[in-house]
């Protein structure tokens, strides 16, 4: 997902970087935190 956001921002519009990449990074952070705490 992050790769799609970066590629889209490079080819279309920088707004795509925020629309696609930022939520994906936030989801990855929450997933990583949940795995650290044994919730996943």
The structure tokens listed for 9 are: 């921002």
Confidence of residue 30 (pLDDT cuts 50, 70, 90): very high
Contacts of 22 (CB under 8 A, 6+ apart): 5
Residues 1-23: tens digit of each pLDDT: 567 766 666 777 767 667 777 88
Q: Are the CB atoms for 30 and 18 separated by under 8 Å?
A: no
Q: Judge whether 9 and 16 are in contact, CB under 8 Å.
A: yes
For 39, the enclosing helix (H) or strand (E) is none
pLDDT at 29: 93
Global pTM? 0.54
Opening angle at CA 22, ends 37 and 38, nearest 5: 10
């Amino acid at each position: 997902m992050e790769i799609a956001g970066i590629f889209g921002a490079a080819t279309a519009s920088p707004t795509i970087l925020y629309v696609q990449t930022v939520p994906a990074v936030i989801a990855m952070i929450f997933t990583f935190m949940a795995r650290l705490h044994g919730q996943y």
